[in-house]
């Protein structure tokens, strides 16, 4: 009985730890919240989120590159439509497509020099046919650096290196 009790306690602690869901780890960098996203047990992307002036702002770093996602509960967009936009920081302008959901758009940032310009800018202007959105970028330099580090770290990690230890999900 004396041997069984400690074994039962250890077994209960291990079972409880295994039953806990793996949460989404986050870290704050200035006004931005950076998080890792998994699909099942496989790393998918790192996100950097903030909101300003009624607009949700997310930068997503995945295997395809950097995406900007803007959302607002006030928007009524045609799902699946690609809207032409101009992204403007300082004196640099880039043409892009904003792929719509009903309340959000996703814009791929494929121009590397523009990506670098984002780190130095205080404001990103997204010019659509109907209006120009002003996206504040305060703290973005440090946030984008941490976002890239999050992606590089998590993309390299694999359970194949040690199948008995769960990968760290820290951003």
State the DSSP H helix or E strand holding residue 119, giving kind and residue range, or none if neither.
helix 112-120
* Domain spans, the chain: 23-156
Q: What is the C-alpha to C-alpha distance for residues 90 and 137, in angstroms, rounded to an integer?
A: 12
pLDDT one-digit tens code per residue, 102-126: 999 999 999 888 988 898 899 999 9
pLDDT exceeds 60 at position 63:
yes
How large is the average pLDDT for residues 83-87?
97
- CATH annotation of 23-156: 2.60.40.1880
pLDDT exceeds 90 at position 98:
yes
Q: What is the C-alpha to C-alpha distance for residues 88 and 83, in angstroms, rounded to an integer?
A: 16
Sign of CA dihedral 167, 39, 56, 127: positive
Q: Please give the DSSP secondary-structure letter assigned to residue 31.
A: T
pLDDT exceeds 90 at position 10:
no
Distance of CA 147 to the CA centre of its chain: 7
Q: How confident is the model at residue 159 (pLDDT cuts 50, 70, 90)?
A: very low
Residue 126 is predicted with a pLDDT of: 97
Q: Please give the DSSP secondary-structure letter assigned to residue 171.
A: -
Sign of CA dihedral 137, 138, 140, 146: negative
Report CA Rg, the chain. 21
Residue 11 is predicted with a pLDDT of: 38
């Amino acid at each position: 009985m004396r041997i069984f009790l400690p074994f039962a306690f250890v077994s209960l602690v291990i079972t409880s730890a295994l039953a806990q869901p793996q949460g989404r780890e986050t870290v704050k960098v200035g006004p931005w919240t950076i998080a890792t996203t998994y699909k099942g047990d496989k790393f998918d992307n790192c996100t950097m989120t903030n909101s300003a002036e009624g607009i949700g702002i997310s930068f997503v770093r995945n295997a395809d590159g950097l995406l900007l996602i803007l959302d607002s509960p006030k928007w009524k967009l045609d799902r699946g439509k690609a809207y032409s936009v101009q992204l403007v920081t300082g004196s640099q302008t880039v043409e892009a497509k904003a792929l719509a959901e009903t309340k959000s758009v996703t814009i791929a940032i494929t121009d590397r020099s523009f990506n670098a310009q984002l780190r130095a800018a205080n404001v990103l202007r997204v010019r659509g046919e109907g209006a120009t959105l002003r996206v504040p970028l305060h703290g973005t330099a440090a946030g984008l650096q941490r976002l890239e580090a999050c992606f590089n770290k998590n993309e390299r990690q694999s359970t194949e290196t040690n199948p008995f230890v769960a990968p760290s999900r820290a951003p």
